[in-house]
């Protein structure tokens, strides 16, 4: 069985908020995997589809970058500013803007999976992510942005004494790409930067071809129409959902920006000196959508990242909870200042 839990140790780095996360994991904390396994007839709401589950478990067996080393990088690189800039694309060109209504083009979103396996027992946590267009991008290597809380959840299962269990213990983080018919798991080799308080992290991995999407450095006003990339691990009843990676389903759901909050939960307003730490939106994101983008419907650029849900107040009820895209730029150098630290 999986051994005693090892929590992340730097309490000043990890500051958890009391909210519901839009993430999905194995239906029980630890899953006992039999020697032979056939796809289930039905999937429970929080179950990971069989195809995706098998792909991740196959990849973790050959993983050379265990979660233990990635956790250390996550802690060491919290708040680290990369020696690269992120392209400002508040009004991307027609070739760059994300057309959420065109279902004929390949979906540029990815699945991010964190897996720990000890013999026949394993734990997988799943979220969404997307690739960033940076100034120092080398061929085949990409930076994928995703949420941090699924990684933190998986890291709690790391054994206290790792050396005692090296023969059976395997783990890793993977970026899942592909089509509805074929998927590939790409191991994450590094976490070059993270913003734990904002629940964001950047993953470095080698992916042969993945489309980057434009990110705007500017917040939009409340009531701005948006599209958000929702994910479901069972086929929803409502129309508009398409089969996606590894048996999952996805849909660009229409919504609205409701407002902003600072870290203290106070209402903040764009265009002022207020700090815009969190973004509120509707509708509520589905499990597995956390880490996915919120797109300005007019410009086609990313203006936020989904994290989960939050009870704002008793009158307005539960709302979608995320971070504005301007927070992503805190991980990067200003354009023209790369290498001038």
Category of 218 on φ-ψ map: left (φ > 0), alpha (ψ -120 to 50) or beta: beta
216 is a domain residue: no
CA-based radius of gyration for the chain: 19
Contact present, 78 and 327 (Cβ < 8 Å): no
Q: Which residues of the chain have pLDDT under 70?
A: 1-46, 102-105, 137-140, 157-168, 336-341
At residue 50, the pLDDT reads 85
- Helix, strand, or coil (residue 177): strand
Residue ending a domain, among 175, 206, 237, is 206
Question: How many domains, in total, are found in the chain?
Answer: 2
Residues 18 and 109 both lie in one domain: yes
**Predicted pLDDT of residue 276:** 92
pLDDT in tens, 123-151: 899 999 999 988 876 666 899 999 999 99
Domain check: are 11 and 159 in the same one?
yes
CATH number at residue 282: 2.40.10
43 burial (CB, 10 Å; 0-12 / 13-18 / 19+) is: middle
pLDDT of residue 158: 67
- Phi/psi of residue 165, each to 5°? -125, 25
The verdict on 238 and 285 lying in the same domain is: yes
Contact 272, 260 (CB under 8 A): no
The answer to whether residues 199 and 18 touch, using CB atoms and an 8 Å cutoff, is: no
Same domain? For 232 and 185 the reply is no
Same domain, 58 and 117: yes
Q: What is the pTM of this model?
A: 0.84
H-only helix segments in 26-92? 50-60, 67-76
Look at residues 176, 206, 236 and tell me which one is the last residue of a structural domain.
Answer: 206
Residues 25 and 169 occupy one common structural domain: yes
- Which residues, in sequence order, are bridge partners of residue 296? 226
Q: Are 200 and 229 in a shared domain?
A: no
Do 187 and 236 share a domain, yes or no? Answer: no
Q: Give dist(CA 64, CA 60) in Å, integer.
A: 9
123 and 169 co-located in one domain: yes
For residue 154, what are its two tokens?
């998986």
Same domain flag for 132 and 268 = no
pLDDT at 145: 97
Query: What's the CA gap between 93 and 41, in Å, rounded?
Result: 45
CA 306, distance to chain mean position in Å, is 8
- At 284, list the tokens: 């509520």
Residue 275 maps to a domain: yes
Domain carrying residue 15: 5-35+47-81+92-206
Residue for token digits 């995997």? Answer: 33
Each residue's pLDDT tens digit, 14-64: 433 334 555 544 433 333 333 333 333 232 334 788 889 899 999 998 888
Say which DSSP state 163 is in: G
């Amino acid at each position: 069985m999986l051994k005693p839990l090892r929590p992340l140790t730097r309490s000043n780095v990890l500051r958890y908020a009391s909210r519901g996360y839009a993430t999905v994991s194995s239906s029980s904390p630890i899953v006992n995997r039999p020697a032979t396994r056939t796809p289930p007839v039905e999937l429970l709401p929080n179950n990971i589809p069989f195809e995706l589950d098998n792909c991740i478990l196959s990849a973790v067996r050959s993983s050379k970058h265990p979660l233990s080393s990635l956790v250390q990088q996550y802690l060491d690189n919290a708040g680290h500013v990369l020696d690269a800039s992120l392209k400002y694309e508040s009004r991307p060109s027609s070739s760059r803007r994300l057309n959420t209504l065109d279902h004929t083009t390949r979906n540029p979103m990815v699945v991010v999976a964190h897996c720990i396996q000890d013999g026949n027992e394993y734990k997988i946590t799943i979220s969404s992510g997307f690739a960033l267009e940076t100034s120092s991008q080398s061929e085949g290597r990409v930076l994928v942005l995703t949420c941090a809380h699924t990684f933190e959840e998986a890291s709690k299962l790391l054994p206290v004494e790792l050396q005692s269990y090296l023969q059976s213990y395997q783990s890793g983080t993977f970026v899942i790409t592909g089509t509805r018919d074929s998927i590939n798991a790409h191991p994450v080799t590094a976490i070059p930067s993270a913003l734990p308080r904002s629940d964001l992290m950047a993953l470095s991995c080698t992916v042969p071809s993945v489309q980057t999407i434009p990110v705007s450095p500017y917040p939009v006003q409340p009531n701005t129409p948006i599209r958000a990339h929702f994910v479901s691990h069972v086929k929803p009843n409502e129309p508009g959902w398409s089969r996606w990676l590894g048996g999952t389903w996805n849909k660009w759901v229409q919504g609205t920006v409701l407002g902003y909050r600072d870290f203290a939960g106070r209402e903040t307003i764009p265009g002022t000196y207020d700090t815009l730490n969190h973004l509120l939106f509707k509708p509520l994101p589905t499990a597995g959508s956390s880490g996915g983008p919120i797109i300005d419907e007019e410009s086609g650029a990313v203006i936020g990242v989904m994290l989960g849900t939050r009870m704002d107040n008793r009158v307005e009820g539960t709302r979608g909870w995320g971070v504005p895209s301007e927070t992503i730029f805190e991980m990067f150098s200003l354009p023209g200042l790369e290498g001038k630290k």
